[in-house]
Structure 1
Amino acid sequence: MTQDPRRLLALRNQRWAKSRLFCLRSRRFSAFFWRRVWHDRLPVLAGHLAYVSLLSIVPLLAVVFSVLSWLPRFSYFRRQFELFMFSNFVPETEIAFRYHFSLFVKNASKTTSIGLLMLVLLALLLIAAIDENMNHIWRCRGQRKWLKTITMYSIVLGVVPLLVGGSLLLSSQIQGWALWHYELVSSLGGGLLELLPYLLSLGGILLLYKVVPNIYVRWQHALLGATLAALLFEVAKEGFGYYIAHFGTYKSIYGALAGIPILMIWLYMSWLVVLLGAEFTATLGEWQLNRTLRGRKPRLPG
């Protein structure tokens, strides 16, 4: 039985029209997204966060390890945490950074109560900078209630380290089980261990996009933005690690101080990726709002 040629032509034209409409909307969304990136000066914000992170990362780790010290077998968790963090988030330089960070955190843990208070304040400096920049991207002009602010800061300083400790405990149990069932793990779930850094990055960034902005963020938008940021983070990690391994001219220039610019560049790249994902998430929300309120132009601050 032959179909009507006119009906086939109409279906073909309908599909072509839908494809053109999708391409047109994608191009407009991309243009709007990059206008927001340019207007919000994301490279400048990433540089600011990288500088604040350089000042606050040691106090923040000291606070995190202080919270983790409440857990049993803390020394084992700490070694696992350091090994996982530096091998997956500071490419090709984990040995040197693990030594120096362990030394810094060890010295910081010997401070007095006043010194510990200063460490907490420095750690809060980084969280406050993240809070300010995220709300700038989401165009949040109102002030967050103090109770919500305390809750958000407590999640970052208290709940997150406990979750990390719990995940490390679970990981150790899984690894112990995998040693006894090596063939089964190799055939079924060997690739899942390679996905663990990506999944942890995705979960952390998703929580950042959902909790920090002083505005309602849909889970779908936060998940899409976190997925994009986590993918870019893995690509940046591989690319930066390849550069460090094969184009080590920085060592001949900086010598023993080569670790400082490496850390600064990596912090800058990491924050740029996180901010790009946040901008993408915020753009999704505003784009949907503009489609709902037809005729309304996208608003840029200032």
Structure 2
Amino acid sequence: MPILNRNAVTYVVGHPLRFLLQCLKGFKANQGLLLAGAVAYYSLLSIVPLVMLVVVALSHVIDPAELLETIGHYLEWLVPGQSKAIVTEVAHFLEHRDLVGWFLGLTMLFFSSLAFTVLENAMCVIFLHRVDTRKRHYMISAMLPYCYILCLGIGALVVTLVAGSLQVIGAESVRLFGVAWSLQGLSGALLYMLGLAGEVLLLSSIYMVMPVGTLRWQHALIGGVTATVLWEIARHVLVWYFTTLSQVNVVYGSMTTAIVVMFSLEIGATLLLFGAQVIAEYEKVVRGEDTSPQPMTTTTPEAG
């Protein structure tokens, strides 16, 4: 069985601009920017309690300082330039974790799940052609965010252990032709590739799990690679902008961190949903369906 549909690949490769325009029209018809705004808002509410829960849980098996360093490094991928503020708050919370009761823990768990719930609803809009033919049991939708939080915790554990091993390698050196060559550059490159591969896998898993119905992993990987490439470009532009041109701290003052995080999450959510739109349009090409977008409309009842 071929990995990808030959006719669909031929269409996309032969008409890349037409396919891109088709994706943009579909994204606009689905109110993609509006959906991204909702996802970004709830992500802003979820990111701090989610990181706190993961750090508190893993601090029992991993040194907290090493854990915070790793999480701070990869938070830079999500909120460029603002990870230090988040890590500082998490570290302060970690110092007083003994005061956390069961009610606060449940509250944090609830707020951590909000972003996943809203993201699932946004995916339903983009993959509306699936929702019309398939339904998901409400218990699955209710448990899905918490399963994802558990998976993220396990992923953070694995990444921290691997990152620690790579940092140890970076402190070593090898002698070749009488010259000592440091492995620090190799360690940095491997850390970056680890983060990039983790980003692709995370986004692909979201595309696999969040939409209703069964999605082929090849299609999920298309969306994951697309969103990762676009976000890497956007992330580097954001880093350059905030370090050279931005005067956001002059305008917003003490609200700067929240505004910058919200702005970064808005862009990230937009690219995440656009990757889903790419998958949806590719599915339509594979099935030979009508690719013209159907805009979302609101009907009003006729006056009697």
Name the TM-score, length of structure 2 as normaliser: 0.80
Is 2:47 the counterpart of 1:47?
Answer: no
Query: Residue 212 of structure 1 is aligned with which of 188, 210, 213?
Result: 210
Task: Kindly report the root-mean-square deviation, in angstroms, between the aligned alpha carbons of the 2 structures.
Answer: 2.8
Tell me the CA shift for residue 172 of structure 1: 1.0
Match of 1:256, SS state, is helix
Matched position secondary structure for 1:258: helix
Equivalent residue number for residue 240 of structure 1: 238
What secondary structure does 2:214 align onto? coil
| Cα 1:236/1:252, change in 2 over 3 Å | same
AA of the residue aligned to 1:65:
V
Matched, 1:274 2:277: no
Aligned partners of 1:69, 1:216: CA distance in 2, in Å? 36
| 1:115-158 deviation per Cα after TM superposition (whole angstroms, max 9, x unaligned) | 21121121222211111111221114243125644663343111
Identity among equivalent positions (%) equals 21
* 1:67–1:158 CA contact under 8 A, matched in 2: no
Give the Cα separation in 1 of the matches to 2:71 and 2:186: 28
1:33 — aligned with what?
Answer: 23
Q: What is the aligned partner in structure 2 of residue 156 from structure 1?
A: 148
Structure 1 equivalent of residue 302 of structure 2: none
2:72 is aligned with 1:83? yes
1:35 offset after TM fit, Å?
1.8
> Retained in 2: the 8 A contact 1:46–1:271?
yes
Give the structure 1 partner of residue 6 of structure 2. none
Q: What is the CA distance between 1:26 and its match in structure 2?
A: 3.4
Q: Which residue pairs with 1:264 in the alignment?
A: 262
Structure 1, residues 9-37: CA drift from partner, whole Å, max 9, x if none?
A: xxxxxxxxxxx987764344233212211
Partner residue, 2:286: 288
1:132 aligns with 2:130: no
1:61 and 2:51 aligned: yes
Contact 1:135/1:213, CA 8 A, preserved across alignment: yes
CA distance change for structure 1 residues 151 and 96 in 2, over 3 Å: closer, same or farther?
A: closer
The verdict on how the C-alpha distance between 1:42 and 1:191 changes in structure 2, with shifts beyond 3 A counting, is: same
Tell me whether 212-221 or 98-107 shows the greater mean CA deviation: 98-107
1:225 paired with 2:193, answer no
Q: Displacement of 1:245 after TM fit?
A: 0.8
CA distance in 1, matches of 2:212, 2:62: 37
Aligned counterpart for 1:180 among listed residues 143, 158, 172: 172
Structure 1 spans left out of the alignment, 5+ residues = 1-19
More moved, 125-134 vs 88-97? 88-97
- For 2:127 and 2:170, locate their aligned partners in 1 and report how far apart those are by CA, in whole Å: 44
2:146 & 2:95 partners in 1: Cα distance?
A: 23
Among residues 245, 248, 260, which one is paired with 1:250 in the alignment? 248
Structure 2 residue runs of 5 or longer lacking an equivalent are 1-9, 175-180, 298-304
Contact 1:45 1:133 in 2 (8 A): yes
Distance 2:291 2:75 in 1: 45
Q: Determine if contact 1:226/1:277 at 8 Å carries over to the other structure.
A: yes
Deviations 1:60-89 (A, max 9, x none): 22322243244x224144223332123333
Distance 1:144 1:160, change over 3 A: same
Going from structure 1 to structure 2, the CA distance change for 1:186 and 1:80 (only over 3 Å counts) comes to closer
Closer, same or farther in 2 for the Cα pair 1:115/1:97, shift >3 Å? Answer: closer
How many residues are aligned here?
Answer: 278
Between 1:256-265 and 1:233-242, the stretch displaced more is 256-265
Whether 1:99 aligns to 2:88 is yes
1:194 deviates by 3.0
How far apart, in 1, do the equivalents of 2:103 and 2:23 lie?
Answer: 45
1:16 matched to which residue of 2?
Answer: none
Instruction: Work out the CA distance in 2 between the residues paired with 1:26 and 1:245.
Output: 34
List per-residue Cα deviations over 1:39-61 (Å, max 9, x = no partner). Answer: 11111111111111122222222
Q: Which moved more, 1:89-98 or 1:241-250?
A: 89-98
- TM-score, structure 1 normalization: 0.80
Q: Is the 8 A contact 1:91 1:237 kept in 2?
A: yes
Change (3 A) 1:245 1:77: same
Residues 266/109 of structure 1: CA separation in 2 closer, same or farther (3 Å cut): farther
Structure 2 CA distance for partners of 1:297 and 1:90, relative to 1, 3 Å: closer
